[in-house]
Amino acid sequence: MQNQDVMKAVEQKAQIWLNGNYDEATQKAIKTMMEKQDKTELIDSFYKDLEFGTGGLRGIMGPGSNRINIYTVGAATQGLANYLKKEFASLPLIKVVIGYDCRNNSKLFAQVVADIFSANGIKAYIFEDLRPTPEISYAIRQLDCQSGVIITASHNPKAYNGYKAYWNDGAQLTSPHDTNVIDEVNNIKSVDAIKFKGNPQLIEELGEEMDTKFINQVKSLVLDQGVIDRNKDLKIVYSPIHGTGVKIVPAALKACGFTNVINVPEQDVVSGEFPTVISPNPEEPAALEMALNKARETNADIVMASDPDGDRLGIAVKNDKGEYILVNGNQTATLLTWYIIKKWKENNKLTGNEYIVKTIVTSELLKEIAEKNGVEYFDVYTGFKWIAKVIRDLEGKKKYICGGEESYGFLPGDYVRDKDAVAAITAAAEIAAWAKEQDKSLYDVLQDIYMEYGFSKEKMVYIVREGKSGADEIKQIMQNFRKTPPQTLGGDKVSIVKDYSTLEAFYALENKRQKLDFPETSDALQFFTESGYKVSVRPSGTEPKIKFYFEVKVPLLSRNEFVNANKKADDIIASIIKDLGI
């Protein structure tokens, strides 16, 4: 489509909003955009409709079909309601749970969602205040609901908000439900088809009673209560980064037996402006800086933070020099997986029927740990809905132990079907208590794991490309890699290329092709080298980014070689980045 055609389609769509039953403030904002000489904002607001990605519906707040507002949220909800009424037509009453985070407009959007569901004859349970994502997933299962919605943009900047739809197992939508819901949304041709006027008789608030049940479930995951009781005064600095964790995480830590949780008062303030951080993302070092300062003041044993909707966690620990260092998502998943399997083994809970799950871009070290301990593992696409799908498919057949992803998400119990920072934080605190009893830090434990299972270093780099022009550029980058895949990376020959858009792997040494066993295609590529380096490339499903994930393995024969091995791995990754021209 030429630029002129794009502009014509954008103006036609904008005109529909000007002529339709939209509120005055929305129409005024659209008129302002249309009158500007620079049409970039208008194009970005209307050139497409928001679509469900790996994390659902997510975008910048504002007027337009490609923005988060009461109308796009409303259309998504009406479409979901229409689909639920078809799928569960035999039920006397369809039920849903609605939750929301700290972001600007989150409470407003959640109320709009509740109104629309109730207007469609669907029972809507809405939390009285903000709650973490895992608790909403848990409540869906507890209340035997058919679906649920969470208003959140996770760790995105403050301009964003989002809409995550969940199915009756408490997991995000997967095929065929995700595309079927989109079809229903696309069938709504007019704002007048959205039933905004709610039925208060079908809306019920949830509060402390559900909190108590959820926290008790978190407590049930403790693997060694004795180690917590003996180290209950472990110094834990925790920050919710202005988000939902403030409601639940300290209470969960207390319930598990920890008595010395040190907060960061400035970041306990609930705010969609995120006043103390540039980005409320526990992956970003700056987001943890205030918590690290508090840890230095108090000589804390471990520092932890959760993102605004309480599903991702960031961790910092002391290194061998007593300096606090950040633990990345792969290392967090490695520590948690290793400890959980270790304790299951000690408690004689491993029967040979257990499994873990990781995403394709997550460290292969999790695979090594599982296989060496007789635990099966599964690889899935990026996005926790795929981990939840494996749990659902194997329910009653195999026993789920845990699952994790490199992007700071982890799930240690299957009563929730999304990543769970609340349970992951309490589990990490237990590991820290166990390590302290061994006169070790988590830094020491991580080195022990590397010594036993091999040293692996990971890094993620992304390129941001905003708007339609950015989306086109990202598409072209992926096409170029498919057309001309790299022959060598970091001086090592590429031996395997996996293309998830065709579900085909090419093995260069054997010159053969093999089908990949995945439930559907995905716009992702992976390159593996002879020495075990791995590079994964994929556009983000929720942000205007293309992401590159690197993992390299280097020999580590003794703890004294750790620094040199780390430096060598960094050099190899730098070389690979140069080879890829990014």
**501: which 2 tokens?**
């858009």
- Measured CA to CA, the distance from residue 370 to residue 372 in angstroms comes to 6
Q: 320 and 398 in one domain?
A: yes
Together in a domain, 170 and 86 = yes
Q: Does 334 lie in the same domain as 268?
A: yes
CA–CA separation, 538 and 54 (whole Å): 12
Are the beta carbons of 179 and 123 closer than 8 angstroms?
Answer: no
How many domains does one find in the chain?
A: 4
Do 367 and 385 fall into the same domain?
yes
Quote the pLDDT of residue 543.
77
Residues in the chain: 582
474 & 430 share domain: no
Choosing from 409, 428, 453, the residue where a domain stops is 453
| CATH code of 532's domain | 3.30.310
Positions in the chain whose pLDDT score sits under 70: 1-2, 52-56, 542
Residue 74 and residue 101 in one domain: yes
Same structural domain, 2 and 82: no
pLDDT at 1: 45
What DSSP string describes 113-156? Answer: HHHHHHHTT-EEEEESS---HHHHHHHHHHTT-SEEEEE--TTS
The span from the CA of 447 to the CA of 445, in Å, is 5
Provide the annotated active-site residues: 154
User: Domain containing 476: what range?
Assistant: 455-580
Q: 490 and 344 in one domain?
A: no
Residue 68: CATH number of its domain: 3.40.120.10
Residues 317 and 415 in one domain: yes
Q: What is the pLDDT, as a whole number, of residue 477?
A: 96
CA distance 67 to 61: 5
Same domain, 152 and 238: no
- Which of 527, 451, 542 has the alpha carbon at shortest distance from 496? 527
- For residue 23, the tally of other CB atoms under 10 A from its CB is 11
Residues 197 and 225 in one domain: no
* 429 and 497 belong to one structural domain: no
- Which of 391, 419, 453 delimits the end of a domain? 453
- Write down the pTM of the prediction: 0.93
pLDDT for 383 equals: 87
